[in-house]
């Protein structure tokens, strides 16, 4: 294990801590922008997937299946190199935003679709029979009921997205993992493999662990509350 027990190697990490902090900042920034893109895509395609119109459902299905059934590395390469060769190179940073956003959006769309479908059909009908239009129906009646089904798995999707920023390595990104790699292979900084990757891992863990713990605690507390509030049973489906 190269450098694991070497004080010199650990010292080097401390000296170059700025590199890791930069990687940390870049990863967070990429994740935040990609999250916004993913949320927009997820809401649009998630709503399309629950639409009464077959054409919209099909478009949403194609997006989700294509993205979920091809590797994210391929999608990043495709975006970066294909666009670069066609003369529209969006640059590494924008590639990161777009590729992660589009990839995560497909998972968001599935989470949102499942959330909306968890609301009994009678709720849609009651709202429709009262004269709520589509947007009002979703906003006042359906989304508030599906949010508790949506949020816990959505947090998991976000955790995965943060980890997936490391895939930007393939196009030479400036995310945490890519910078760590440059660090350990660098001319002046190279060699401290074990300490560098441990630090990188610890940083990822410190971002992701609280989020996923929060998600699972939230999920179980919602379940507990539900079993109390809904002890008389939700309206059965006819």
Partner 1 sequence: MAMIKLENVNKNFGDLHVLKDVNLEVEEGEKLVIIGPSGSGKSTTVRCMNFLEVPSSGHVYINGTELTTKNKTKVIRDNTSMVFQQFNLYPHMTVLKNLTIGPIKLQHKPKKEAEELAYHYLDIVGLKDKADVYPTTLSGGQQQRIAIARALCSQSKIILFDEPTSALDPETIQEVLDVMIKLAKESITMVVVTHEMGFAKQVADRVIFMEDGQIIESGTPEHFFNNPESERVKQFLGKIIR
Residues that bind partner 1 (CB under 8 A): 120, 122-123, 125-126, 128-133, 136, 140-141, 144-145, 229-238
- Closer by beta carbon to partner 1, 65 or else 136: 136
State in angstroms the smallest separation of the CB of 125 from partner 1: 6
Q: Map tokens 């998972």 to a residue.
A: 107
State in angstroms the smallest separation of the CB of 131 from partner 1: 2
Q: Which two three-digit tokens encode residue 180?
A: 């760590």
State in angstroms the smallest separation of the CB of 217 from partner 1: 21
- Closer by beta carbon to partner 1, 120 or else 190: 120
State in angstroms the smallest separation of the CB of 234 from partner 1: 7
- Closer by beta carbon to partner 1, 86 or else 231: 231
- Closer by beta carbon to partner 1, 22 or else 151: 151
State in angstroms the smallest separation of the CB of 185 from partner 1: 54
d(CA 183, CA 24): 14
The residue count for the chain:
238
- Closer by beta carbon to partner 1, 145 or else 156: 145
Q: What is the dihedral of CA 106, 110, 112, 113, to 10 degrees?
A: 130
**Residue 119: φ, ψ to 5°:** -80, 130
Q: What is the CA radius of gyration of the chain?
A: 22
d(CA 205, CA 2): 22
d(CA 180, CA 19): 8
Whether residue 79 contacts residue 91, with contact meaning beta carbons closer than 8 Å, is answered with no
- Closer by beta carbon to partner 1, 15 or else 130: 130
State in angstroms the smallest separation of the CB of 56 from partner 1: 16
CB 170: neighbour CB atoms within 10 A? 17
d(CA 156, CA 218): 12
């Amino acid at each position: 294990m190269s450098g694991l027990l070497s004080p010199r190697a650990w010292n080097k990490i401390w000296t170059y801590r700025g590199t890791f902090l930069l990687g940390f900042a870049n990863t967070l920034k990429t994740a935040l922008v990609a999250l916004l893109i993913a949320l927009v895509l997820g809401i649009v395609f998630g709503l399309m997937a629950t639409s009464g119109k077959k054409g919209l459902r099909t478009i949403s299905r194609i997006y989700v299946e294509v993205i979920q059934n091809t590797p994210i590395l391929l999608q990043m390469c495709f975006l970066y190199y294909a666009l670069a060769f066609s003369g529209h190179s969006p640059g590494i940073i924008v590639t990161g935003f777009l590729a992660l956003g589009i990839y995560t959006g497909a998972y968001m769309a599935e989470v949102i679709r499942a959330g909306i479908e968890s609301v009994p059909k009678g709720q849609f009908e009651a709202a429709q029979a009262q004269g709520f239009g589509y947007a009002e129906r979703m906003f006042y009646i359906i989304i508030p009921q599906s949010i508790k089904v949506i949020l816990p798995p959505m947090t998991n999707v976000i955790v995965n997205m943060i980890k997936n920023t490391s895939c930007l390595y393939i196009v030479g990104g400036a995310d945490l993992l890519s910078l760590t790699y440059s660090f350990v292979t660098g001319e002046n900084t190279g060699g401290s493999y074990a300490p560098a990757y441990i630090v990188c891992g610890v940083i990822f863990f410190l971002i992701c662990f609280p989020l996923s713990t929060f998600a699972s605690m939230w999920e179980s507390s919602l379940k507990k509350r539900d079993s109390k509030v809904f002890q008389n049973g939700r309206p059965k489906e006819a």
